[in-house]
């Protein structure tokens, strides 16, 4: 394979890449100008559909197809840019916004033209402070240069672009949760249908796209659909930013065509360069916490939109890998995962609210050294009965919670059982008495 030339991350190492002049000197905004001046919106949608660009936010829905769901006779369209990157292990959007904000803005212009957007909102999580200042300054600069506002590039296309800061809620990364939050409400996902394309923000047709998806757009129009299709695997086209964290030698964000293996990502010279301090790999969560875990033997899994499903994972997710070293206690990992979802569940659907909290209680019991073998079956039972897959919830958060917890328990069952068998006898009852003292003081149970 010929050496891959990075595109999304090509400006990451340039000094002052956040300045408009630097971005323009590298041919920036030429694609947007060409698209807006020369192409009709429907042609742009068609071209993106042809390219096979799939959403990079986790679900992998084809981007161009999403745009065709918009009603043809609309007057107002909103474009929401999902920059609420809160998935543990994922930070590629942060790289894109802090190192190359104008690439995102150019993507917004193209997407805005294609969807005939009137106002674009960049929904940014509040923990991105430095990134907010960088992006806001870049946006100010773009406004001053006439790239946003009225009559962009001298055409009759007008679009406003604002940054909307979130306030710390994972569920606002779900597209309808994001819209609710944008409207100034609790970030509770909405029941679908109606889908946002029909009735989204302020009850108007709305498109929600991830930062990385939009960043791909300028390159599709600059280099052409054929170039984009030449990268990646059969159903997963284009370049992707892979991120890797955990005890590897070189954690970070690396660009590659879709379809590298998890092993390459950890050990490859261009990527993680192997484990530090002579540690081994126990497992790897390859696509942001929600997709589930791969064991050491399964590392040859190809990280594209299809192959991950052969390993019992939810999907590619955001391709943010977390490597679990062999000295980590798997019970602590499970407890951490369960805590995340029990904290971030929005509380709307009973199955998710109660299920994630129940799972957290069970997981922390196991982590404290007072687990039972039956707890492992209980975990599997809870996690198969709370998500969208059995049709019990409004959004996908409980599925995202179920997959990592279930795969950890199933794939590392022997290790859990080993830990539980080595617990001193009587510890389960003792812990129960301590945690539920009030119950054990009741007359009947107290005798028992």
Partner 1 sequence: MGWKTLDRITPKHDTEAGPILNEAVRDKIRSFFPRYETKRAVLLPALHIVQDALGHVSYQAMAEIAEVLEIPPSAVLDTLTFYTHFWDHDKGKKVAVVCRSLSCQLMGADAVLDECKKELGIDEHGTTEDGSFSLVTEECLAACDYAPCVLINEKMHKCVKPEQVAKLLKDAKNAEIEPERSDLFDAPAAGAAPAPSEKNNGDEAVASNDDDDVLGKTSDVDEMRDS
| Closest distance to partner 1 from the beta carbon of 314 (Å) | 16
Write out the residues near partner 1 by the rule CB under 8 A. 18, 85-91, 93-94, 119, 125-130, 132-134, 136-137, 140, 160, 162-170, 181-187, 201-202, 204, 243-247, 251-253, 285, 289, 320, 322, 324-325, 328, 332-333, 336-337, 339-340, 343-347
| Closest distance to partner 1 from the beta carbon of 76 (Å) | 8
Distance CA 341, CA 4 (A): 37
| Closest distance to partner 1 from the beta carbon of 78 (Å) | 9
Of residues 45 and 253, the one with the C-beta less far from partner 1: 253
> What does the DSSP assignment read for 134-194?
HHHHHHHHHHHTTSSBSSGGGSS--BEEEEEE--S-GGGGSHHHHHHHHTTS--PPPPSSS
Sheet holding 320-325, edge to edge: 252-257, 239-245, 320-325, 281-285, 294-295
Classify residue 364 as exposed, middle or buried by CB count within 10 Å of its CB (0-12, 13-18, 19+). Answer: buried
| Closest distance to partner 1 from the beta carbon of 203 (Å) | 9
| Closest distance to partner 1 from the beta carbon of 444 (Å) | 32
Q: Give a three-class secondary structure readout of 210-221.
A: EHHHHHHHHHHH
Contact 81, 122 (CB under 8 A): yes
Q: Helix 92-99 vs helix 101-114: angle between axes, to the nearest 10 degrees?
A: 100
Of residues 128 and 221, the one with the C-beta less far from partner 1: 128
Tell which residue, 256, 402, 300, has the closest CA to residue 341: 402
Of residues 110 and 120, the one with the C-beta less far from partner 1: 120
| Closest distance to partner 1 from the beta carbon of 50 (Å) | 32
CB-CB neighbours of 149 under 10 Å = 13
Of residues 110 and 169, the one with the C-beta less far from partner 1: 169
Q: Is 396 helix (H, G, I), strand (E, B) or coil?
A: coil
Tokens of 171: 């569920």
Of residues 35 and 134, the one with the C-beta less far from partner 1: 134
Q: How far is CA 25 from CA 6, 28, 136, 154, in A?
A: 18, 7, 21, 21
| Closest distance to partner 1 from the beta carbon of 130 (Å) | 5
Kindly tell me the number of DSSP H helices and DSSP E strands found in the chain.
Answer: 19, 9
Query: In sequence order, what are the beta bridge partners of 161?
Result: 120
CA angle in degrees (0–180, nearest 5) for 375-378-379: 90
In 249-307, which residue ranges form alpha helices assigned H by DSSP? 262-267
| Closest distance to partner 1 from the beta carbon of 242 (Å) | 12
Of residues 52 and 400, the one with the C-beta less far from partner 1: 400
Distance CA 72, CA 116 (A): 10
Tokens of 65: 């197809």
| Closest distance to partner 1 from the beta carbon of 52 (Å) | 28
Contact 8, 241 (CB under 8 A): yes
Of residues 132 and 403, the one with the C-beta less far from partner 1: 132
Contact 115, 157 (CB under 8 A): no
CA 140 to chain centroid, in Å, comes to 27
| Closest distance to partner 1 from the beta carbon of 344 (Å) | 6
Of residues 49 and 250, the one with the C-beta less far from partner 1: 250
Distance CA 145, CA 411 (A): 55
Of residues 15 and 425, the one with the C-beta less far from partner 1: 15
Of residues 115 and 356, the one with the C-beta less far from partner 1: 356
């Amino acid at each position: 394979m010929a050496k891959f030339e990075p595109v999304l991350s090509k400006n990451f190492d340039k000094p002052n890449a956040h300045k408009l002049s630097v971005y323009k000197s590298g041919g920036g905004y030429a694609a947007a100008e060409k698209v807006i001046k020369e192409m009709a919106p429907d042609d742009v949608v068609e071209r993106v559909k042809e390219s096979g660009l799939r959403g990079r936010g986790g679900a992998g829905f084809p981007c161009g197809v999403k745009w065709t769901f918009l009603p043809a006779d609309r007057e107002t369209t909103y474009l929401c840019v999902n920059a609420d990157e809160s998935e543990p292990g994922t930070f590629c959007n942060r790289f894109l916004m802090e190192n190359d904000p104008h690439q995102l803005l150019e993507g917004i212009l193209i997407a805005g033209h294609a969807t005939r957007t009137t106002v674009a909102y960049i929904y940014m999580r509040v923990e991105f402070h430095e990134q907010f200042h960088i992006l806001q300054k870049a946006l100010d600069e773009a406004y001053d240069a006439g790239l946003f506002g009225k009559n962009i590039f001298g055409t009759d296309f007008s679009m406003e672009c604002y940054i909307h800061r979130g306030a710390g809620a994972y569920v606002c990364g779900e597209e309808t949760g994001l819209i609710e939050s944008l409207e100034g409400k609790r970030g509770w996902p909405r029941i679908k249908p109606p889908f946002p394309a029909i009735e989204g923000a302020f009850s108007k047709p709305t498109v929600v796209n991830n930062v990385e998806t939009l960043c791909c757009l300028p390159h599709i129009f600059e280099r052409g659909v054929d170039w984009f299709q030449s990268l990646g695997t059969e159903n997963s086209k284009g370049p992707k930013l892979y991120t890797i964290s955990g005890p590897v030698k070189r954690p970070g964000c690396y660009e590659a065509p879709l379809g590298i293996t998890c092993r390459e990502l950890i050990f490859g010279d261009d990527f993680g360069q192997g484990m530090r301090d002579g540690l081994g790999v126990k497992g790897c969560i390859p696509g942001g916490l929600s997709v589930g875990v791969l064991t050491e033997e399964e590392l040859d899994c190809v990280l594209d939109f299809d192959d991950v499903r052969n390993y019992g994972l939810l999907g590619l997710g955001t391709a943010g890998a977390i490597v679990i070293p062999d000295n980590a206690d798997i019970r602590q990992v499970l407890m951490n995962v369960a805590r995340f979802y029990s904290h971030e569940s929005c509380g709307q659907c009973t199955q998710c609210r109660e299920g994630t909290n129940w799972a957290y209680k069970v997981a922390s019991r196991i982590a404290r050294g007072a687990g039972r073998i039956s707890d492992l079956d209980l975990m599997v039972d809870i996690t198969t009965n709370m998500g969208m897959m059995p049709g019990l919830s409004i959004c996908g958060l409980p599925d995202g919670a179920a997959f990592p917890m279930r795969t950890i328990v199933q794939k590392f069952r022997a290790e859990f059982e080993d830990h539980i068998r080595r617990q001193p006898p009587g510890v389960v009852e003792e812990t129960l008495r301590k945690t539920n003292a009030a119950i054990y003081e009741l007359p009947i149970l107290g005798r028992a």
